[in-house]
Amino acid sequence: MSTAAATHEHHGPATGIKRWLFTTNHKDIGTLYLLFSLLMFLTGGAMAMVIRAELFQPGLQLVDPHFFNQMTTVHGLIMVFGAVMPAFTGLANWMIPMMIGAPDMALPRMNNWSFWILPFAFAILLMSLFMDGGGPAFGWTFYAPLSTTYSNDNTALFVFAIHIMGISSIMGAINVIVTIVNLRAPGMKWMKLPLFVWTWLITAFLLIAVMPVLAGAVTMVLTDKYFGTDFFNAAGGGDPVMFQHIFWFFGHPEVYIMILPAFGIISTIVPTFSRKKLFGYSSMVYATASIALLSFVVWAHHMFTTGMPLAGELFFMYSTMLISVPTGVKVFNWVATMWRGSISFEAPMMFAIAFIVLFTLGGFSGLMLAITPVDFQYHDTYFVVAHFHYVLVTGAVFSIMAAAYYWLPKWTGHMYNTRLAKWHFWMSLISVNVLFFPMHFVGLAGMPRRIPDYALQFADFNAIISIGGFAFGLSQLLFVAVVFKCIKAGEKAPAKVWDGAEGLEWQVASPAPYHTFETPPEVK
């Protein structure tokens, strides 16, 4: 083999489907992750539409309760593991090497694997919906004995899908850590790292710590259901409450996995459009690390009603409330960054500001839920649904939208239609609040979650919620339009798209060349 031919091959991407199947390029893989996440966002969103259509009126109209349960379960699984997490991994793939001045991710072949097993995981999960008996219907939290004694025979498919998703996330996380630790450009010291890189590094450690625990939990469900073990079966000496302890030991850090990269994105965008340096950089780093550490000692706040001794309830109540301290540090830092800044309201900034306000609102309802005595009233009601949709939709998803609008010109080389993007923003902002805000009230009034029917007094509010839901769903089609129009054509974007932006990614041309920083940049 001639060396000339070998080097020639590295100049540009292969063509056709092979480019995407065999790619080890971080930008290609980032694109794949992002497009896959968009597809899953629309799939999970379509399921949410089914849920909202059924709940538009009291009584059972469109779907039977078993299918309704499958919709709530698979909507949750797809949005968590298919939409939010792959979107962040895609952003990490695209941006981390460019932000730290590395030529690519550290382990490119593993990178290819970690993406390409994902479509199979979701194909298995989605196909189970069409099988005899249906897909998983026990809620995304798959509490035993719902997932063991009372689940259908297709539960094995759910278990294998979760295993594959977990392996994919773990490989992605390992890649992020090795890249950040080993491939920083000379002079890129730890406390000079962009915050998106910092938050992702900490997220990656959380992933490695808890995704294997989730794998353990689904394995125990598998052996309990099919191989006669009794991990969660009281008759054989097991304990169903232990399932909840193991699940939430994974589950609580998992919710920070879905929000820490969002913090990094907001900390990148707010300074750009305020034309000021980020206020309190090092406090941001320490706050992120403390949130990550605290996330391991709060899990039982999901289980206050399972019958815990007073000392346990007090411990988990106070440790949960403690998390609001580092989170508050972050919110105040963002506000202080905007303070007296010369702010302009481009689409990414609008999403970032909406994030700060609405995520904080979701944080406050989280604080209410943390108060043990009142949690007995809120537990398993729509108040909880309102809480986690504020932190995950107006939190995590809005941050992903903000990131897409921020870096899309860098990825495609084209400026997107800013008018359409602003329409998308305002439509989303209004409809998302029509959708989720009334859920607080029906929840406080006692409407239980995960039930296809409800008492008549909730009818008006549910009709409003459903209208908000359909409007929010339709608004996302605008986002799809903006993205695909921007990929195809648009005004040529300069290397530095936003005049207030800082960071190595703005030193390379737009669109970012296939290979960047093959020789490390100088970091002052």
Partner 1 sequence: MNHMPLLRKLLLGTLAMFAFAFALVPLYDVFCDVTGLNGKPSMEQARQSERVDNSREVTVSFTTHAQSGAPFKVSAQQQSVVVKPGEMSLVTFAAANTSDQARVMQAIPSVSPGLAAKYLHKLACFCFDQQTLQANEQQEYQLRFYVDPALPPEYEELTLSYTLFDISAKHSESLVAAAR
How many Cβ atoms from other residues are within 10 Å of residue 298's Cβ?
22
Q: Give the interface segment with partner 1, choosing from 1-9, 135-143, 302-310, 512-520 (CB under 8 A).
A: 302-310
- Using the rule CB under 8 A, is 216 a contact of partner 1? yes
Contact between 230 and 224 (Cβ < 8 Å): yes
Draw the binding track, 239-258, toward partner 1 (x: CB under 8 A; -: no contact): x-xx--xx--x---------
Locate 198 and state its tokens: 């910092």
Q: Give the interface segment with partner 1, choosing from 53-61, 234-242, 473-481, 502-510 (CB under 8 A).
A: 234-242
Nearer to partner 1, 158 or 263 (CB): 158
Nearer to partner 1, 206 or 402 (CB): 206
Locate 315 and state its tokens: 């411990």
Closest separation between CB of residue 93 and partner 1, Å?
Answer: 17
Closest separation between CB of residue 519 and partner 1, Å?
Answer: 15
Nearer to partner 1, 217 or 255 (CB): 217
Q: What is the largest CA-CA distance in the chain?
A: 77
- Using the rule CB under 8 A, is 117 a contact of partner 1? no
Distance of CA 463 to the CA centre of its chain: 28
The residues near 274 (Cβ < 8 Å, ≥ 6 apart) are: 337, 338, 341, 342, 343, 500
Q: CA 114 to CA 489: how far, in whole Å?
A: 30
List 5, 132, 227, 309, residue binding partner 1 (CB under 8 A): 309
Nearer to partner 1, 16 or 309 (CB): 309
Nearer to partner 1, 183 or 287 (CB): 183
- Using the rule CB under 8 A, is 209 a contact of partner 1? yes
Residues taking part in catalysis: 75, 104, 140, 168-169, 252, 254, 256, 267, 301-302, 327, 330, 449
List 49, 87, 170, 222, residue binding partner 1 (CB under 8 A): 170
Q: CA 492 to CA 419: how far, in whole Å?
A: 16
Q: CA 352 to CA 326: how far, in whole Å?
A: 19
Q: CA 209 to CA 159: how far, in whole Å?
A: 19
Selection from 119, 122, 208 nearest residue 158 by Cα: 122
Q: CA 216 to CA 174: how far, in whole Å?
A: 19
List 8, 12, 46, 182, residue binding partner 1 (CB under 8 A): 182
- Using the rule CB under 8 A, is 236 a contact of partner 1? yes
Distance of CA 259 to the CA centre of its chain: 7
Selection from 503, 498, 505, 508 nearest residue 524 by Cα: 503
Closest separation between CB of residue 174 and partner 1, Å?
Answer: 5
- Using the rule CB under 8 A, is 106 a contact of partner 1? yes
Binding site residues, partner 1, CB under 8 A: 106-107, 170, 174, 177-178, 181-183, 208-217, 219-220, 228, 231, 234-237, 239, 241-242, 245-246, 249, 307-309, 312
